[in-house]
Amino acid sequence: MEHWIRVEPNVKIYVNDINPLGSKTILFIHGWPANHQMFEYQYNQLVPMGYRCIGMDMRGYGNSDKPLEGYGYNRLADDIRCVIGALGLQDITLGGHSTGGAVAVRYMARHQGYGVSKLALFAAAVPSVIQRPGFPYGTTREAIEQIIQATYDDRPKMLHDFGEIFFYRKVSQPFSDWFFQLGLEAASWSTIAVSKAWLEEELFNDLPRIQVPTLILHGVHDQVCFFPLAEAQHQGIRNSVLIPFENSGHGLFYDERDKFNLELSRFAK
């Protein structure tokens, strides 16, 4: 079931509500620069198990509206609040990949976890994408600035290069082409705006405010959000469990999809 949920007077968010009568609900928040379709290998296994899987496209991505502004984590978290409210969701698992994980963490802190009973973080860009004083574990500011400049100069090449480091296991060329197209469906300005947000946003103060059980899944070979970020999440979130994925990069939802789906299904019961 498809929905377009109004989150601002001129902004609607696309939501794909799969198996609305499922017994337990997982709301998936995708990473940059893809959209909810990146989780199709979760939907295909979890829905037959009885789960209600809801995939939303963040503003600027996929089928959602693409305004010129509103790409800070606060606004993106407010969009999640609008979706949860509009669908009347309660007692759900909120799952976020990469930047989607960062926005999910901000949601939990900013909206006191409204409607959410469990949080799942997948290769999350938390607590900071870049290195900061006292936190040497992220990538460099220069690396992010290079991504931003590359998006201005040649967005298809930037997306291609990003795809090359995304997965640990070799993917087929057709799969690579499909994943590349997900990035192209985003607006160029939203792709740039979220990249710029990485330089400003940090979530160190958000982590202690998470009060629900939290599952942290992270690839040991992640070249985008390095594994020490997961360890910092585990240290900062009470009642959290960290499960390393020994044969995964940033795309652990595909690299080790059977293990990923098993761990998520067990957690979301």
Q: Where are the domains of the chain?
A: 2-268
The secondary structure of 142-174 as a DSSP string is HHHHHHHHHHHHHHHHHHHHHHHHH-SSPPPHH
pTM over 0.95: yes
Specify the pairing of strand 51-56 against strand 11-18: antiparallel
Element (H, E) at 83: helix 73-87
pLDDT score for 201:
98
State the pLDDT at residue 89. 98
Strands 92-97 and 116-122: parallel
Residue-level pLDDT at 135: 97
Q: Model confidence at 124, in pLDDT bands (50, 70, 90)?
A: very high
Distance CA 4, CA 18 (A): 14
Q: Which CATH number fits domain 2-268: 3.40.50.1820, 3.40.190.10, 3.50.50.60, 3.60.70.12?
A: 3.40.50.1820
Report the pLDDT value the prediction gives residue 259, as an integer from 0 to 100: 98
Backbone angles phi, psi at 211, to 5 degrees: -110, 0
Just list the catalytic residues. Answer: 98, 222, 250
Average predicted confidence (pLDDT) for the chain:
98
DSSP per-residue string spanning 32-56: TT--GGGGHHHHHHHTTTTEEEEEE
At residue 125, the pLDDT reads: 98
CA angle 248–56–73, rounded 5-degree value? 80
What's the pLDDT at 92?
Answer: 98
Rounded (5°) CA angle 94-25-221: 45
- Supply the pLDDT for residue 190: 98
User: What distance in Å separates the CA atoms of residue 47 and residue 43, rounded to the nearest whole number?
Assistant: 6
Please give the Cα distance from 69 to 79 (Å, whole number).
Answer: 13
Q: Which residues contact 22 (CB under 8 A, 6 or more apart)?
A: 47, 50, 51, 52, 53
DSSP letter, residue 65: -
Determine the average pLDDT of the residues in 221-232: 98
153-182 pLDDT tens trace: 999 999 999 999 999 999 999 999 999 999
**CB-CB contact of 147 with 195 (8 Å):** yes
